Amino acid sequence: MLRSRLSPCALVVVLLCGCHSKNVTSPSTAYTGSLGVETFTATLALGATIFYSFTVPRDGPISLTLLDLRENGVPSEAAIGLTLGTPLGTGCSSGAPTTVTVSATPQFSGSYGAGVYCVKVVDVGNLVVPARFSINITRPQ
């Protein structure tokens, strides 16, 4: 049996460092700056993942809203995966996607630091044909 040589205290520090996200800001004060909205529209192939990168110039809230999803030009009620991450090479490093359907309210939101982010869209197996989608990205200007 392999035994760890880290003390319990050191192990806790290592685990906490692995879970820390440098982009999350403290929600101690409400954001008072202006927000901009940009729309990401693309076609998601069956079983595919697609991402879009964008820049956030200052700390503040980011939200993602799946506004439209169409299969064969017809509005779809299918659920797809949606998540926020950071660009990594030719991909988007992120956690597990949240399964969402079209809505007028944000399906994802949080406070983040200035930086470059990406929205990742995933077919989680619910699409019947490639689907055209539109996502609003609301972020500090």
pLDDT single digits (tens) 14-70: 333 333 333 444 444 677 789 999 999 999 999 999 999 999 999 999 999 999 999
Identify whether 94 is part of a domain: yes
Q: Is the pLDDT of residue 100 over 80?
A: yes
Give CA–CA dist 89/22, Å, rounded.
Answer: 19
Residue 29 is predicted with a pLDDT of: 60
Cα 38–chain centre separation: 14
Identify whether 22 is part of a domain: no
Domain that holds residue 90: 34-140
Q: Token pair for residue 28?
A: 């101690």
Identify whether 24 is part of a domain: no
Confidence class for position 10, pLDDT limits 50, 70, 90: very low
Residue 51: strand pairing partners: 120
Residue 54: strand pairing partners: 117
Global pTM reads 0.75
Residue 33 is predicted with a pLDDT of: 83
Domain total in the chain:
1
